[in-house]
């Protein structure tokens, strides 16, 4: 059962435009969400996170939006740069007993930013 | 501040052998989690250690085990290796357990022949 889903395996955008990566989840107990970027042969790099008490968090070019009623979050990258080309993973955790430290990851979306 | 380090970076083993992977967390971080990444299953949680105690375990067979030392360094062990254990093994550290951001190391690429 895929609790965190990234339904778009790939996304291609033009440099300077907005990239929007989407993520859906099914477990209503999830209360903390993160986005990671991953280059081949490297570990995931933390980008931005959001707690369920918020609906938006911004850090530079990166903004994450959370819609709890729809169980949906999205990552906006504005403006997109060629260096942003990578695989993006969303992850979720639920702070309940016995679930500490466990992140559930989506399958990832490969973003290609064309010059 | 140095990031999470993992050794070795690459490893080739044969079926039936065992392997030990090492992870040194970011200085000051006390929680270490391990994940397995495969093309088919994506990133899957193996286990988490905090203060030398396993706090959580994913859905993996008992051949996968781990431990954490008093300096927060962690090792994971896979015994009786199977072909399907070929994967990228990632270690992540965080300041504490719970709702803390996890920072990942570069991973150990294990190939089982």
Which residues does chain B have within 8 Å of residue A27's beta carbon, measured at their own beta carbons? none
- A104 interfaces chain B, CB cutoff of 8 Å: yes
d(CA B13, CA B110): 8
Element containing residue B22 per DSSP (H, E): strand B19-24
Nearest to B48 among A34, A44, A102 (CB): A102
In this structure, what is the dihedral angle of CA atoms A54, B56, B19, A38, given to the nearest 10 degrees?
-10
Q: What is the pLDDT of residues A49-62, one digit of tens each?
A: 999 999 999 999 99
- Sign for the CA dihedral angle at A20, A84, B107, A64 comes to negative
Q: What is the pLDDT of residues B73-109, one digit of tens each?
A: 999 999 999 999 999 999 999 998 777 889 999 999 9
Q: What is the pLDDT of residues A24-52, one digit of tens each?
A: 999 998 989 999 999 987 899 999 999 99
Cβ distance of B104 and A36 shorter than 8 Å: yes
Cβ distance of A41 and B106 shorter than 8 Å: yes
Paired with A31 in beta bridges are none
């Amino acid at each position: 059962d895929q609790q965190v889903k990234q339904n778009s395996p790939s996304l291609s955008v033009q440099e300077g435009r907005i990239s929007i990566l989407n993520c859906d989840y099914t477990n209503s107990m999830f209360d903390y969400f993160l986005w990671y970027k991953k280059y081949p042969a490297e570990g995931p790099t933390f980008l931005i996170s959001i707690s369920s008490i918020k609906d938006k968090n911004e850090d530079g070019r990166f903004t994450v939006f959370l819609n709890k009623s729809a169980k949906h979050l999205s990552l906006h990258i504005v403006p997109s740069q060629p260096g942003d080309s990578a695989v993006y993973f969303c992850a979720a955790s639920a702070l309940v007993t016995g679930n500490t430290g466990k992140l559930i990851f989506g399958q990832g979306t490969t973003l290609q930013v064309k010059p | 501040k140095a990031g999470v380090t993992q050794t070795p970076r690459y490893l080739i083993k044969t079926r039936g052998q065992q392997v030990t992977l090492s992870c040194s967390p970011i200085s000051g971080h006390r929680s270490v989690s391990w994940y397995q990444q495969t093309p088919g299953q994506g990133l899957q949680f193996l286990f988490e250690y905090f203060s030398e105690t396993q706090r959580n375990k994913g859905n993996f067979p008992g051949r996968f085990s781990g431990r954490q030392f008093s300096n927060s360094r962690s090792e994971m062990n896979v015994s009786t290796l199977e072909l399907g254990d070929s994967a990228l093994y990632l270690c992540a550290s965080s300041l504490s357990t719970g709702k803390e951001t996890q920072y990942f190391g570069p991973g150990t690429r294990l190939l089982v022949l």
